[in-house]
Structure 1
Amino acid sequence: MESHVQRLVDQTWEKFSKCDLSQRLMIAIAGIPGSGKTTLAATVAHGLNKKHHETMHTQFPNRPVAPDPSQPDIAFVVPLDGYHLTRKQLAEMPNAEEAIYRRGAAFTFDAQSYLELVTQVRKPLTPETRTIYAPSFDHAIKDPVLNDIAIPPTARILLFEGLYTALDADGWRDAHALMDQTWFVDVDIETASQRVAKRNFAAGITQTFDESLARTRESDMRNARDILDHRLPVQEVVPSIDDDSWRSDEVSRLEDELEADQEGEDVRESNLRQARMLRMDSIAALAADGVGM
């Protein structure tokens, strides 16, 4: 998988190098539950930011290789999790019982708000461009938090990751058309089922693994089939791997770098968010909250 990731980092950096100062490079990363798209997005973003800082250090040797306030990151991950409908919104739907049970299906997301964000960040950058904010998902309250993810003017490469970023449906379709590229993390249904069931069982959602597997096939893989049956064109199909083994090495390396780079100082929230994303797939966290089951 490392070679695939490095190839994606290198080719994305090459595409970015051809952008002028008014352009952002925008990439959507899609995949079914359990495919590893969250880990891929965080790992690629980390690789791109490392390239950026190394390049800046080569051009300006007196600048540190590590991130600092005068040399901010340029690659940011925007997860789709913040566009879940709230529990209140689900409870007010005509099919409330089904919507609550199937939270994580495409119809339980706010596709139009996602499209509005993508449209906003797609606009050319100017000296007047301000920080734009996206929602996050708070696992403590089990609902989205508005304006929680900052996308500053210095964010030049945006990686949007989520189940439905390549879905051929209203809202998602228009957002997909605004991307420079779309990647799809490919995994077979059975492998994904086993991964999600194991995570859900470990999170205590069910009392037995068999129960978790049955529920995964009934709900998560129902969403997976919808994603596969209605997938828009993509430029990259990335083979999935066992993301636990991938993540362990990457998290260890990233956390070591953060400690070395920021010893004695507060680590910036953007880097902490990257480390947390690498440490735990967002779908696993949502499963622990009863989301996306």
Structure 2
Amino acid sequence: MIKMAVDPVIQSLNGLDKTTQMLRDRILMLLERQQSCQQNKRILIALAGVPGSGKSTVGNALLRELPLYNVKDVCVLPMDGFHHTKEALMAFDDPALAFQKRGAPFTFDAEAFFKLVQTIKETPVTRPGEKAVTFLAPDFDHAVGDPVPDAIHVSSAARIVIVEGNYTLLNEDPWNKIAALVDDRWFVDVTPDVARERLAKRHIQAGIEKTYEAAVARAEDNDLPNGALIRSKLIRPDVRILN
């Protein structure tokens, strides 16, 4: 793991450009240090955050920024595709609770996610002229409410993989094994009030709930407690972003 100094809290409200530039500079520094060591290892970054924090917004802005600095071999591996399927949830001891709490840590196949991250970390970066291999990962289809197998492709030519998801810095087994593999740890946070509003709108737009009141109730019953759990069991990040 490449060691870097811990940065101060970054206040990104109305300052996404500044946050993106700071994260870009961290990646450029990671690449520079790795090249100076003549390593052929892939850089992994954990991008964690509470539900509704805007971590995907931060990540997407960074992906638009990096090509401007000739950093194009970057991939994102999201955690969402590792939701247990509806069929799998029906086999739980308490299926009703599993569906009610879908999105909580126990409703993901965390071990499968960790194993894929471990494989990606241990596989050397494919050099120019060598044949690349493709790592396959599921994505999550919100329209049908289930994962889509092999929808995400991560090339072994990628020098940087951003491992994105709510629990990528959670200090619970097996999630904490992911944090031990990465070279930099980023955490995006937001106040519960802002998260509640964002999540309620998201639930309505996704068709999960039909009324604002029901959407707020869902956020308060599931998403906000998950956020509180993440904060209480957070592995110390290198960068903390308040969004």
Shorter-normalised TM range:
0.7 to 0.9
Q: Deviations over 1:103-129 (max 9, x none)?
A: 111000011011111110111335576
Aligned-partner residue type, residue 18 of structure 2? S
Task: Write the distance in 2 (CA, Å) between the matches of 1:161 and 1:237.
Answer: 15
Task: Write the distance in 2 (CA, Å) between the matches of 1:3 and 1:133.
Answer: 33
- Answer with 1 or 2: which has the greater Rg: 1
Task: Write the distance in 1 (CA, Å) between the matches of 2:109 and 2:68.
Answer: 33
User: How much does 1:144 deviate?
Assistant: 1.5
Q: 1:8 aligns with which of 17, 23, 31?
A: 23
Q: Does 1:17 align with 2:32?
A: yes
Task: Write the distance in 2 (CA, Å) between the matches of 1:21 and 1:50.
Answer: 24
User: How much does 1:21 deviate?
Assistant: 5.3
User: How much does 1:204 deviate?
Assistant: 4.0
SS of 1:18 mapped into structure 2: helix
Aligned-partner residue type, residue 115 of structure 1? F
Quickly say closer, same or farther: Cα 1:236–1:51, change in 2 above 3 A. Answer: same
Task: Write the distance in 2 (CA, Å) between the matches of 1:14 and 1:212.
Answer: 42
Q: Identity over aligned residues, as a percent?
A: 35
The higher relative CO (CA closer than 8 Å, separation ≥ 6) is in 2
Aligned-partner residue type, residue 121 of structure 1? I
Aligned-partner residue type, residue 125 of structure 2? L
Q: Count the aligned residue pairs.
A: 221
Task: Write the distance in 1 (CA, Å) between the matches of 2:87 and 2:186.
Answer: 33
Q: Does 1:226 align with 2:229?
A: yes
Task: Write the distance in 2 (CA, Å) between the matches of 1:100 and 1:183.
Answer: 29
Q: 1:41 aligns with which of 59, 62, 70?
A: 59
Task: Write the distance in 2 (CA, Å) between the matches of 1:206 and 1:142.
Answer: 13
Task: Write the distance in 2 (CA, Å) between the matches of 1:192 and 1:50.
Answer: 31
**More strand, by proportion:** 2
Quickly say closer, same or farther: Cα 1:204–1:131, change in 2 above 3 A. Answer: closer
Task: Write the distance in 2 (CA, Å) between the matches of 1:43 and 1:81.
Answer: 19
TM-score of the aligned structures, taking structure 1 as reference length = 0.71
Task: Write the distance in 2 (CA, Å) between the matches of 1:222 and 1:158.
Answer: 29
Q: Does 1:32 align with 2:50?
A: yes
Matched with 2:6 is none
- Contact 2:185 / 2:237 at 8 angstroms: preserved in 1? yes
Aligned-partner residue type, residue 125 of structure 1? V
TM-score of the aligned structures, taking structure 2 as reference length = 0.85
Where do residues 222-261 of structure 1 align in structure 2 (5 Å cutoff)? 222-240=225-243
Matched with 2:82 is 83
User: How much does 1:30 deviate?
Assistant: 0.7
User: How much does 1:146 deviate?
Assistant: 2.3
SS of 2:70 mapped into structure 1: helix
Where do residues 175-194 of structure 1 align in structure 2 (5 Å cutoff)? 175-194=178-197
Q: 2:134 aligns with which of 100, 115, 131?
A: 131
Quickly say closer, same or farther: Cα 1:125–1:206, change in 2 above 3 A. Answer: closer
Q: 1:52 aligns with which of 52, 65, 70?
A: 70
Task: Write the distance in 2 (CA, Å) between the matches of 1:140 and 1:195.
Answer: 19
User: How much does 1:228 deviate?
Assistant: 1.0
Q: Deviations over 1:144-195 (max 9, x none)?
A: 1222211112211111111100111111101110000110002111111111
User: How much does 1:143 deviate?
Assistant: 1.6
Question: Where does structure 2 lack aligned partners over 5 or more consecutive residues?
Answer: 1-15
User: How much does 1:202 deviate?
Assistant: 3.8
Q: Does 1:196 align with 2:211?
A: no
Aligned-partner residue type, residue 48 of structure 1? L
Q: Does 1:211 align with 2:203?
A: no
**More helix, by proportion:** 1
User: How much does 1:200 deviate?
Assistant: 1.7
SS of 1:174 mapped into structure 2: helix
Where do residues 146-157 of structure 1 align in structure 2 (5 Å cutoff)? 146-157=149-160
Question: Where does structure 1 lack aligned partners over 5 or more consecutive residues?
Answer: 54-72, 241-293
SS of 2:67 mapped into structure 1: helix
Task: Write the distance in 1 (CA, Å) between the matches of 2:33 and 2:202.
Answer: 41
Matched with 1:97 is 96
| Structure 1 vs Structure 2 CA RMSD | 1.7
Q: Deviations over 1:9-64 (max 9, x none)?
A: 122112112224512111011111110011111221222233126xxxxxxxxxxx
